[in-house]
Amino acid sequence: MKKIGITCYPTVGGSGVIATELGILLAEQGNEIHFITSSLPFRLDHIHPKLFYHEVELNHYPVFQYPPYDLALASKMAEVIDQEELDILHVHYAMPHAICAILAKQIANRDVKIVTTLHGTDITVLGIDRTFKKMIKHGIEQSDAVTAVSHSLVKQTADMLGINKDISVIYNFVNEKEYHKRERTTVKRQYGIKPDEKVIIHISNFRKVKRVQDVIQTFAIVTKHVKAKLLLVGDGPEYSEARQLVVKLHLDDHVLFLGKQKNVSELLSISDLKLLLSEKESFGLVLLEAMSCEVPGIGTNVGGVPEVIKHNETGYIVELGDVEQAASYAIRLLQDEEMLEKFSLNALKRARTEFHSDKIVAAYTALYNRVL
């Protein structure tokens, strides 16, 4: 039994989900898990005697122009390391969380081990602001162990930072109890989708990198050949642009903007195909969530996406921006029931083998044992 502190951005998409689900599974295996975050992680919605939550409180002192979140976090980490006698501090993101963990370790009285998981966003930040390069590098080099969610991210990190640090690839996973296909004919009807219409789904935070416009353009071609509806799930900076494009392309009756949704597995259960046409994606957790609900995906040849989708088996890979190719694959799949069923089952099988939570949690546990 280990005592593990976990820090993530509790409200940020995939990385927050992975950190929380991992903590829950580790607690179920008998470890004591202490979340140290600015708010309750959004998936931490049930009680368990081995799960604890320590809130990083931010006081707004008039002398500080900006509230010192990073310092408040480091201070809280140091407090929890000592009080709870943590063995490991597992942080998600090198910046700022690994940096905070390093500082906390220096302040605390215990020799806690720091494990850092990279989700890709640090590297994206670097592409925009090089001033953080040395700090991110420091965070990675000073961690006792570093993991990344895809081989592509390991390579990208090494290329951009020029480091030799050994980074282990531990893929993402989903909670299989939550992500599985259910019979949801009523849900389909409630959304006004006819039984003979296919459902294409896109889920994201509508950031520019997600290229929601490409999803809509792809759908515009598909809908000329296949009776279908497009579900757009999520919200973010590109939301109104996306709405305008739908109106411009006269797709209003075929595209449903659902905003942020909690029970995504219910929506995946009525979906036939998932589109993720991002320009940056270190893994693409939403693709795995879809696969786990028997939904094949079409994704771009960027980052870790080709490590998740097996081309021509669990979906298709297209070049960035190639909406014609994406549409052609979608039409081929949606018009061939037999092939669609085969791809759906392949997707499920891959989700339950390569990315099974048992396998991933075992990999993290082995890594913890190695550093201790």
47: left (phi over 0), alpha (psi -120 to 50) or beta: beta
- Closest to 266 in 3D by CA, of 298, 297, 243, 233: 233
Q: Which stretch binds ligand GMT (CB under 6 A): 21-29, 32-40, 176-184, 279-287?
A: 279-287
If one asks whether residue 172 binds ligand GMT (CB under 6 A), the answer comes out as yes
Which of 122, 272, 281, 307 binds ligand GMT (CB under 6 A)? It is 281
Residue 27 CA to residue 34 CA, distance in Å, equals 10
Residue 303 CA to residue 140 CA, distance in Å, equals: 20
Q: Does 284 bind ligand GMT (CB under 6 A)?
A: yes
- Answer for which of 26, 285, 323, 367 binds ligand GMT (CB under 6 A) is 285
CB nearer to ligand GMT: give 169 or 221. Answer: 169
Write each residue from 302 to 331 as x if it is in contact with ligand GMT (CB under 6 A), else as -, in one continuous string. Answer: -x----------------------------
Q: Applying CB under 6 A, does 214 fall inside the site for ligand GMT?
A: no
Applying CB under 6 A, does 139 fall inside the site for ligand GMT?
A: no
Q: What is the 3-state secondary structure (H, E, C) of 334-366?
A: HCCHHHHHHHHHHHHHHHHHCCCHHHHHHHHHH
**Binding segment (CB under 6 A) for ligand GMT, from list 14-22, 105-113, 226-234, 265-273:** 14-22
Residue 149 makes contact with ligand GMT by CB under 6 A: yes
Would you say the C-alpha torsion 358, 360, 362, 364 has a positive or negative sign?
negative
Q: What is the dihedral of CA 315, 318, 322, 328, to 10 degrees?
A: -40
Distance CA 358, CA 360 (A): 6
Q: How far is CA 216 from CA 99, 227, 268, 335, in A?
A: 40, 15, 18, 19
The answer to whether residue 74 forms part of the interface with ligand GMT (CB under 6 A) is no
Nearer to ligand GMT among residue 10 and residue 284 (C-beta): 284
- Residue 162 is which amino acid? G
Token digits of residue 360? 């991933």
Site for ligand GMT in 98-127 (CB under 6 A): 119-121, 124
Q: How many CA atoms lie within 13 A of 243 on its CB side?
A: 10
CB 172, min distance to ligand GMT, A: 5
Of the listed pieces 23-31, 64-72, 98-106, 203-211, which binds ligand GMT according to CB under 6 A? 203-211
Kindly tell me which of 86 and 101 has the beta carbon lying closer to ligand GMT. 101
Give the binding site for ligand GMT (CB under 6 A): 12-15, 18, 119-121, 124, 149, 172, 205, 207, 209, 280-285, 303
